[in-house]
Amino acid sequence: MTKPLRLGVAGLGTVGGGLVRLLTAHAGRLALRTGRTIEITAVSARDPKKDRGLGNALGNVTFHADPVALAKDPGIDVFVELIGGETVAREAAEAAIAAGKPVVTANKALLAHHGRELAAKAEAAGVPICFEAAVAGGIPIVKALREGLSGNRIDAVYGILNGTSNYILTSMAESGASFEDALAEAQRLGYAEADPGFDVDGVDAAHKLTLLASLAFGAAVDFNAVHVEGIRQISALDIAFARELGYRIKLVGIAKATDDGLDVRVHPAMIAAESALGHVDGVFNGVVVQGDFVDQMAFEGRGAGAGPTASAVMADIVDVALGLHLPLYGVPVAALGGARVIPVTSRFGASYMRLSVVDRPGVIADIAAILRDEQVSIESLLQRGRAPGEGVPVVIVTHEVQEAAMARALARIAALESVLERPTMIRIEEIK
Amino acid sequence: MTKPLRLGVAGLGTVGGGLVRLLTAHAGRLALRTGRTIEITAVSARDPKKDRGLGNALGNVTFHADPVALAKDPGIDVFVELIGGETVAREAAEAAIAAGKPVVTANKALLAHHGRELAAKAEAAGVPICFEAAVAGGIPIVKALREGLSGNRIDAVYGILNGTSNYILTSMAESGASFEDALAEAQRLGYAEADPGFDVDGVDAAHKLTLLASLAFGAAVDFNAVHVEGIRQISALDIAFARELGYRIKLVGIAKATDDGLDVRVHPAMIAAESALGHVDGVFNGVVVQGDFVDQMAFEGRGAGAGPTASAVMADIVDVALGLHLPLYGVPVAALGGARVIPVTSRFGASYMRLSVVDRPGVIADIAAILRDEQVSIESLLQRGRAPGEGVPVVIVTHEVQEAAMARALARIAALESVLERPTMIRIEEIK
């Protein structure tokens, strides 16, 4: 048997604790699969004395206060980065790379912002950076894109990549609750942070989508070029109308290769209820990949939590133990393709818009005239309820139209005196 | 750059042709990913002169009439077996292994029957056998089980593994057609063979399930111990009742680890419409994996066809090119665990039964008495339509019960003079 693989684990929070438990539970199984013992020999954590309920699992390990010192510890072969953030995590990862040690990380923000630089450094040092746990929790989607589907030109990737947002949208759909109430419930249950912006404003999903798009297209996509919208504006009313129209509202990440560049964006969208992502509910994540030979592939699983994330981290560690070494984005840095991201204004697609209008004759005619002027073609129009002289909802579904034209129409409609609130616009996306 | 990887491809049928096209389309992309050129240098086919619409893609390759001669050809580094069957394919695979060449195969029958022996030979020779394409077409499920989820104890695998059967069941559900009519349509469309037994009798699904179960449990499951039923007995009436009860009827493969042994079986089952496999329709395949850390993971994609299968074959070839070498079942042959398969009679679960009974007072009481005697508890009972003195359908859904008791009850019910046809029994399975 080869000598043991010695792990240095930075961070003993939820995921770190899960990893310790996984290694304790499956040491024998993992040794059989890799032909060597895998053991944690050093860790770093803010408070080494804190009781993490891990019993004697960490009995003999070296504790470091500083993750960078851990990364440099000659007693570890692999640096497992589970602290998050972009400063210390980056410094520690770079220290590990400089010391010739493979890096396993769950840090999507780090890679979405600095992936290309880290990939170049790792390549120069001849060590792999593995990040299965950074995207879609337990779903082995990085492995699928980098290896399992490597015989395909990937044309598109669609994902429900943030469990917190999906939980909130699902709970709004089930209970009819408002965003605020559903968020409060998610916070009470521990599915949402006290400061939920990272999740509900789409940032976390965009980090993950940046990585998926980079892998799919063999290009280092610039996170800052990705259009990002969150779910705070979604109302229970929109969710109910969506259902009536045969759709579900989901926070989706979309990455498509087009002739003009990469179309990469995160926003709430209406997707067909019976599409592969339409039934991905609650804290689950889902990813759909469209490849030229494989056609459509869908993956669904838990996107977060100690167990699923530890499962993904462990898969990377097993790869390292087996000597599998792939470039971060699947291809060498020098071979990365163009990653021009096209602006969302060039989107061409259908949309849903909901208006609150004064219930009086002529209002619909004004709106229809604006849409006609802007060349936005109406697929259907619903007006519900009567309340003469007061506000009633009007829902319009458009045919496919250029986003810029849609934006002009919306601005003009919003300015009508008979339109009472800022119009809601939700893109309708076909997952294919 | 490392020297080219030279492939010998046995079989130029649908999948072989797809592989040639894939390599032609993506030669550059694949070279970037593997750091070496991948090329077909020799092939074997029954008729070397046949026009396969591949143009000049095979211009310079050596043609062999005999796959065994191809496997021994010193001009190839990898033997790609796409001929199917268990005799010549086995001989050729063994010849390749003896010559120290990795084998990539799409042959589920070969591995389901002779996997353990081939694994032992490959292990002794130090070469890998890769078989991503043997299970679930383009879905990278072998990689997921062997690598992506390797940190888990797998507790269960469920799969819709035969596209032909699934197409027939879906089309029966959509059109209300009989099995015979739906089969004929599938044959006309090329989704079913002239002799459809392999697909509709569950044999093909059982081959694939045998491999999934072996991978999942690290054991060489004996194909002959797997309980197999097909879909010929499923009627449009059962499908309609299933829908009414919130279920779909699917041909499912089930592999569960239990305290008494492995529960491995293929049969039609009612599964919840909203479960992860409930919406896998048409020619698509789906696999659900239950792992102790990752929890539930679902995969869906095309289970057959030139493109998806070539995608899976290519993923294996890329692994070989990258030097990834795993044991066939994920663990060395010497470490394979016990693979005792428990009989289906020990199943404990709910069932649906449909009877055709004479519409007269007392019949239900007789049936209920038998069920009571055999300790089969009724969850619901539906009687539809009235036709005094003639046959009407009665549907009974039981609570969870031992299969042996259910079988005794069914035999006694079938013998009742008021029961007109052989009762239909379909197991209700919870995918979790």
DSSP sequence for B183-204:
HHHHHHTTSS-SS-HHHHTSHH
Contact check, Cβ <8 Å, B314/A151: yes
pLDDT at A386: 81
Q: Is residue A57 part of a domain?
A: yes
**Ranges A44-48, A245-249, A325-329: which has the least confidence:** A44-48
Does the pLDDT at position A174 exceed 70?
A: yes
Distance from CA of B374 to the nearest CA of A (A): 40
d(CA A232, CA B307): 41
CATH code, A273? 3.30.360.10
**Catalytic residue (one of B101, B108, B121, B208):** B208
pLDDT at B432: 76
pLDDT tens profile B186-214: 999 999 999 999 999 999 999 999 999 99
d(CA A185, CA B201): 49
Phi, psi of B199 (to 5 degrees): -85, -55
**Same domain as B279, residue B173:** yes
User: ∠ CA A242-A247-A251 to the nearest 5 degrees?
Assistant: 90
Chain B hits for A25, Cβ within 8 Å: 153, 292
Contact B80, B9 (CB under 8 A): yes
Residues contacting residue B431 through CB under 8 Å, at least 6 positions apart: B158, B252, B271, B272, B275, B276, B277, B288
Which of B148, B151, B301 minimises the CB distance to A294? B301
**Ranges A112-126, A186-200, B376-390: which has the least confidence:** B376-390
* B215 vs A390, higher pLDDT: B215
Does the pLDDT at position B78 exceed 60?
A: yes
Nearest residue to A297 via CA among B105, B280, B316: B280
Substitution target in B2, B152, B153 with the highest count of A β-carbons within 10 Å is B152
Q: Considering only residues 101 to 160 of chain B, which have any Cβ-Cβ distance to chain A shorter than 8 Å? A: 132, 138-140, 143-144, 147-153
Count of structural domains, chain B: 3
CATH code, B401? 3.30.70.260
Contact A37, A317 (CB under 8 A): no
Nearest residue to B253 via CA among B204, B297, B206, B198: B206
pLDDT at B1: 55
DSSP sequence for A344-389:
GGG-EEEEEEEEEEEBSTTHHHHHHHHHHHTTPPEEEEEE----BT
pLDDT tens profile A256-285: 999 999 999 999 999 999 999 999 999 999
Residues contacting residue A33 through CB under 8 Å, at least 6 positions apart: A318, B150, B330, B331
Residues B216-239 have a mean pLDDT of: 96
Judge whether B72 counts as a catalytic residue: no
pLDDT tens profile B39-66: 999 999 988 778 777 777 787 899 999 9
Contact check, Cβ <8 Å, B140/A147: yes
Contact check, Cβ <8 Å, B299/A295: no
**Crossing angle for the helix pair A306-321 and A14-34, nearest 10 degrees?**
40
pLDDT at A52: 79
**Same domain as A409, residue A285:** no
d(CA A173, CA A182): 10
Q: Is residue B312 part of a domain?
A: no
**Same domain as A198, residue A267:** yes
Helix (H, G, I), strand (E, B) or coil at B270: strand
d(CA A207, CA A108): 6
Per the DSSP assignment, residues forming a β-bridge with A288 are: A158, A298
Which of B311, B319, B330 minimises the CB distance to A33? B330
Q: Is residue B238 part of a domain?
A: yes
- Residue ranges making up the domain that contains B222: 148-302
**Same domain as A278, residue A156:** yes
pLDDT at B390: 83
Residues A394-399 have a mean pLDDT of: 96
Distances (CA, A) of A422 to A120, A406, A408, A412: 46, 14, 14, 11
Mean pLDDT of chain A: 95
Residue of B nearest to A314 (CA): B151
Distance from CA of A146 to the nearest CA of B (A): 9
* B121 vs B3, higher pLDDT: B121
CATH code, A16? 3.40.50.720
Q: Is residue B139 part of a domain?
A: no
**Same domain as A288, residue A206:** yes
pLDDT at A50: 80
Mean pLDDT of chain B: 95
The total number of residues shown for chain A amounts to 432
Contact A76, A70 (CB under 8 A): yes
**Ranges A77-91, A159-173, B245-259, B386-400: which has the least confidence:** B386-400
**Same domain as B297, residue B154:** yes
Residues B163-192 have a mean pLDDT of: 96
The CA-based dihedral angle spanning residues B94, B97, B99, B100, taken in that order and rounded to the nearest 10 degrees: 180
Nearest residue to B148 via CA among B205, B229, B215: B215
d(CA B58, CA A384): 64
User: What pairing do the DSSP bridges indicate for beta strands B378-383 and B5-10?
Assistant: unpaired
**Tokens at B19, concatenated:** 């592989």
Q: What is the ipTM of this complex?
A: 0.95
pLDDT at A203: 98
User: What pairing do the DSSP bridges indicate for beta strands B103-105 and B78-81?
Assistant: parallel
Does the pLDDT at position A393 exceed 60?
A: yes
pLDDT tens profile A202-216: 999 999 999 999 999
Contact check, Cβ <8 Å, A138/B293: yes
Does the pLDDT at position A218 exceed 90?
A: yes
Contact check, Cβ <8 Å, A331/B302: no
Burial (CB < 10 A; 0-12, 13-18, 19+), residue B391, is middle
**Tokens at B150, concatenated:** 């390797």
Q: Considering only residues 296 to 325 of chain A, which have any Cβ-Cβ distance to chain B shorter than 8 Å? A: 296-302, 305, 307-308, 310-315, 317-319, 322-324
Residue of A nearest to B153 (CA): A26
pLDDT at A4: 95
Show which residues of A are catalytic: 208
The CA-based dihedral angle spanning residues B63, B69, B71, B72, taken in that order and rounded to the nearest 10 degrees: -120
Q: Considering only residues 201 to 240 of chain B, which have any Cβ-Cβ distance to chain A shorter than 8 Å? A: 218
**Tokens at A399, concatenated:** 């045919």
Chain A hits for B318, Cβ within 8 Å: 147, 150-151
The tally of CA atoms less than 13 A away on the side-chain side of residue A190 is 4
pLDDT at A410: 97
The tally of CA atoms less than 13 A away on the side-chain side of residue A54 is 24
The tally of CA atoms less than 13 A away on the side-chain side of residue B110 is 27
Per the DSSP assignment, residues forming a β-bridge with A254 are: A158, A265
**Same domain as A369, residue A292:** no
**Ranges A45-49, B64-68, B324-328: which has the least confidence:** A45-49
Substitution target in B294, B309, B313, B325 with the highest count of A β-carbons within 10 Å is B294
Does the pLDDT at position B384 exceed 90?
A: no
Chain A hits for B138, Cβ within 8 Å: 149, 291, 293-295, 297
Q: Considering only residues 32 to 91 of chain A, which have any Cβ-Cβ distance to chain B shorter than 8 Å? A: 32-33
**Tokens at A236, concatenated:** 């229970």
**Same domain as B152, residue B60:** no
Q: Is residue A113 part of a domain?
A: no
Nearest residue to B151 via CA among B339, B294, B329: B294
Contact check, Cβ <8 Å, B308/A293: yes
d(CA B148, CA A417): 57
**Same domain as B197, residue B81:** no
Nearest residue to B160 via CA among B46, B251, B282, B35: B251
**Same domain as B353, residue B292:** no
Per-residue exposure over A334-346, b if at least 16 CB sit within 10 Å of its own CB, e if not: ebbeebebbebee
Token pair 């081939």 is found at B118
Residue of A nearest to B313 (CA): A151
Does the pLDDT at position B6 exceed 90?
A: yes
- Total CB pairs under 8 A between chain A and B: 178
Q: Is residue B172 part of a domain?
A: yes
Contact check, Cβ <8 Å, A300/B335: no
Instruction: Supply the pTM of this predicted model.
Output: 0.96
The amino acid occupying position A379 is E
**Same domain as A354, residue A298:** no
d(CA B43, CA B9): 5
Contact check, Cβ <8 Å, A152/B310: no
Which of B22, B293, B299 minimises the CB distance to A310? B293
Percent of chain A at pLDDT > 90 equals: 91
Domain boundary among A283, A316, A344: A344
The amino acid occupying position B369 is A
**Same domain as A372, residue A298:** no
Distance from CA of A2 to the nearest CA of B (A): 15
pLDDT at A59: 78
Chain A hits for B16, Cβ within 8 Å: none
Q: Is residue A233 part of a domain?
A: yes
Which of B299, B311, B317 minimises the CB distance to A299? B299
pLDDT at A1: 55
Distance from CA of A352 to the nearest CA of B (A): 26
pLDDT at A296: 97
User: ∠ CA A163-A169-A174 to the nearest 5 degrees?
Assistant: 120
Q: Is residue B159 part of a domain?
A: yes
Burial (CB < 10 A; 0-12, 13-18, 19+), residue A235, is middle
Per-residue exposure over A391-409, b if at least 16 CB sit within 10 Å of its own CB, e if not: bbbbbbbbeebbbebbebb
